[in-house]
Amino acid sequence: MGMETDGMEFAAPLTDARILIIDDQEYNISLLERMLRRASFHQLSSTTDSLQAERLLREFDPDIVLLDLHMPGIDGMGVLAKIRHMMGDKNYLPVLMLTADVTAATKQTALQAGANDFLTKPLDRTEVILRMSNLLKTRFLHKQLQHYNETLEAKVAERTEELNRTKLEILELLGRTSEYRDDMTGQHTQRVGRLSELIALELGLPQEQASMIAKAAPLHDIGKIGISDQLLLKPGRYELDEFEAMKKHTIIGADILEGSSFDVLKMASIIARWHHEKWDGSGYPDGLAGERIPIEARIVALADFYDALTHDRPYKRAWTSGEALDEVKRQSGRHFDPAITRVFVALIERDWQ
């Protein structure tokens, strides 16, 4: 509902504005309150004690402050400094200074301190309402923009979370493709991911790095999509030429994942290429040894080995956990990093089901 004052019409939200008046003269406050109420502004708060300014700013939460410049105790400049400190850079709270001092130096000082406009005493009702209304319009436009930005940030955060979920789903699907022909459930890749994360944490790696290993590890055998079914599903041992062909899945996998800007896929490329390297340098495809093998690949190599031994495959029966652990211990210092082996054995014997 609008109102009219000397030909000026205002409507909500202007007339819903919360107005704080700080002036040491009770007469000036009474005069301003009469002017404002006649203009349909009714949410008013006031004080003659500038020491109360900070409390009222917190409790009343004004949309504009009408502030006397010359007051005992803390003057208008002091109160203005408190207002700007409380509001910070992101919040716009207009301050309309009330003063009989119209010198250029005074105005410049007040403007530099953060005043938005001036009302010269004695006060003119029309000027009071017009100047205050102009500042309130800016205040409410700022609040609308702030609300829009907050809404936009929330939508961006929601969209980012949705994209992250989609990325993880794609990673899971990619991991499952490498196992589809000999483990249609894709459970091997997920188990390797979970076990690799536990090993990483036991080694003292940061949670962020361990979580990334958990996401990247399921892609360790993605290069198997480039290996024929006849070879991949062959029961028993490979012939020498067959083994050489099978070893190419490491390079194929790294080539598939190479060049991504996604950190998880970068790590997955490292794991895919080097998870069959061995601590003593007898692995493939590059014959890396010791700590030249990236730690992510060393971790996944052990997790993959143990899980493959302890689960049925078309070409082998599952080993018991004890049998698999004995083999892991035998391979310490040859196939596996001894430090990782110690951590892994302790983890399995203590926790792993």
* Orientation angle between helical segments 263-274 and 207-216, nearest 10 degrees: 60
The first and second tokens of residue 221, run together, are 């055998």
Give this prediction's pTM. 0.59
Q: Which domains does the chain have, with CATH numbers?
A: 3-151 (3.40.50.2300), 180-350 (1.10.3210.10)
Strands 3-5 and 117-120: unpaired
pLDDT number for residue 270: 97
Residue given tokens 């109102």 in the structure block = 3
| CA separation for the pair 6, 318 (Å, rounded) | 92
Query: Are the C-beta atoms of residues 224 and 203 closer than 8 Å to each other?
Result: no
Give percent above pLDDT 90 in the chain: 50
Give percent above pLDDT 70 in the chain: 92
Q: Note the pLDDT tens digit of each residue in 310-320.
A: 987 666 788 99
| 123: three-class secondary structure by DSSP | coil
Give the rounded distance of the alpha carbon of 300 from its chain centre: 28
Neighbours of 54 (CB within 10 A): 15
Read off the DSSP letter of residue 69.
Answer: S
Cα angle: 101, vertex 102, 107; to 5 degrees: 100
| CA separation for the pair 221, 248 (Å, rounded) | 11
| Cis ω before 122 (30° cut-off from 0) | yes
The first and second tokens of residue 98, run together, are 């009330």
Minimum mean pLDDT range among 33-37, 98-102, 224-228, 346-350:
98-102
Round the average pLDDT of the chain to a whole number and report it.
87
Q: Note the pLDDT tens digit of each residue in 170-227.
A: 777 777 776 665 555 458 888 999 999 999 999 999 999 999 999 999 999 999 888 8
pLDDT number for residue 350: 85
Mean pLDDT of 110-115: 84
Cα angle: 295, vertex 298, 301; to 5 degrees: 150
pLDDT band at 8 (very low <50, low <70, confident <90, very high): low
Neighbours of 226 (CB within 10 A): 16
Read off the DSSP letter of residue 332.
Answer: B
| CA separation for the pair 274, 268 (Å, rounded) | 10
Q: Note the pLDDT tens digit of each residue in 232-287.
A: 777 778 888 988 999 999 999 999 998 888 899 999 999 999 999 999 999 999 99
Nearest CA to 291 among 305, 280, 283, 276? 280
| CA separation for the pair 70, 62 (Å, rounded) | 21
67 bridge partner residues: 22, 97
| CA separation for the pair 335, 20 (Å, rounded) | 76
Mean pLDDT of 153-178: 80
Rounding to the nearest 10 degrees, give the CA dihedral for residues 222, 226, 227, 228: 130
pLDDT number for residue 3: 43
| 274: three-class secondary structure by DSSP | helix
